[in-house]
Chain A
Amino acid sequence: MSDITATAKNEQGMVNAVDSKDDYLLRVKDLCLHFRTTKGIVQAVDGVSFELKRRRSVAILGESGCGKTSLARAILRLLPRNVHKFTGEVWLNGTDVMKMSDEWFRQNVRWVKASMVSQAAMNALNPVLRVGYQVAEPLMIHLHMSKEQALQRAREMFRLVGVPEDFLHRYAFELSGGMRQRAILAMALVTRPDLIVLDEPTSALDMLTQANIFNALKDIKRQFDVGFILITHDISTSSDLADEVIIMYAGQLVEHSLAQTGYRAPLHPYARGLMASVPTLREDKRLEFIPGQPPSLISPPSGCRFAPRCPQRFERCAQEPPTFRVGEHGELVKCWLYAKD
């Protein structure tokens, strides 16, 4: 569990014996991404810290609008124009990429070290280029491969994600939704990045295709030195890939646990409510739901952001924002219930 706890120790000012950078694929510290809007500043990502070891995958879960996509965009620096504040540290393979220029980041990090499959990416393929060429393109641009080499690699990737080879020569509109999504996945994989961010990668697909794509992802995870960040609404499906679980609420990370705790016995009251609301097919359980709605990210509550909806809140919750606590098994949880003092 030490993989999760380092952040907490740091936050609490404890000594973190060896800063074994190389073990970590990703370390995010106090990341903020705020947007400017006519109604005010939207705190879409507000002080998020977490770490991910190499070859691990983490699911980022939370309700619509809690900042999951914004967090991914902040990590990959895929920013819209109306950014108000973009601060914090993002260490990828031991290097703080936040210190890099945009140009350098675009040339040497995005696609090369970390790639992303965006929400609704299915429709993002270029309609006038053959899909094989599109998948090979990042190799030619970023890794300066020859066209033949790149296409060869693209062909391998197609096989890996389950697209028949002759589809290399087709155009996007000639592919079904499932095949298009696989092609996008092949594109994210083709440069062999260390980190792949998947934002709702299968939510538009049918269940059988979705299961097939997750089988392919599991294969990839076994074969390559790659870590995944999986962002999804679909909590059940996320458990197909996740070693760890991060729960976000109103722009903040409220819990980071290993899958065992995250799915079976979450600690944060919001995480518990969320997990208790997931319908299960095989198990007869009484479903619960969380009354109320998430706060505005323009003027979030000052104490704990979940306090107004929390069944277990007490005075302190409305007064002070909670800091990270370490749970019994090394989970990180941002909740005053776990304060020992």
Chain B
Amino acid sequence: MKTFLFIVIVIVSGAAAGIIHGGMNLVFVEPSLDQAIGIENQHLFATGEAEDNSEFWVEYDDYRTWQKTGQVIAGGILGVSIGSLFGIIFTFSRNTLPGKTDLKKALILAGIMWLVVYFIPFLKYPANPPTVGDPETVVLRGILYLSFIAISGFGALGFYKLSKKLKTKKFIAVAGYAAFIGIMFTVMPENPDNITAPMDLVDHFRTMSAFTVSIYWLSLGLILGSLWSHYKPHKEIPPSFN
């Protein structure tokens, strides 16, 4: 295996997909964030914590510009992070993934991971815009969300390994995971916070958020799969170069 090439491909595809994600968020998610933060500002004015004057708005605009720049930077960081996990799992599962080409295999794995570590946890703990959420519960909410992702991820991995060991058909592993995650879904506590923003705003935000995260996973599979097909980092280096 060409180790350096492997790492470069993983990082480049993660960063590229992450920057695409951040860019898509600027277009599709930021309008909802602006609206939600607008509601927060109204609260600040109503409670007297801030004054509705030009000074406030100058500072606010600076602050939002900084946050929006961050959308793309953080997209790159998160993209490389999730991409690294994807790269690790791809190298270990490449030989058993269905699909004739590396591109197809990468897209299939991206689809599975999208479902297991993103979409199912999203259904249990959907994304919330600013103004929704009690700062007091942020640690608890973080633990719940991360635990559910881990339960789902390790659950899927466990049923996959079990089906391989028992040499059963693949659908038995899928059914096992479905039953397991269904039980966990009902057992895990709900998000403790009430939704305090208008429901259309929250729903629109959630739809857009799920849309751009899905674009991320699709881009990740496409880019990593294409780079992998082209550069073939799994091939051994010819002995003469060793």
Do A and B belong to a common assembly?
Answer: no
Q: Which residues of A contact B (CB under 8 A)?
A: none
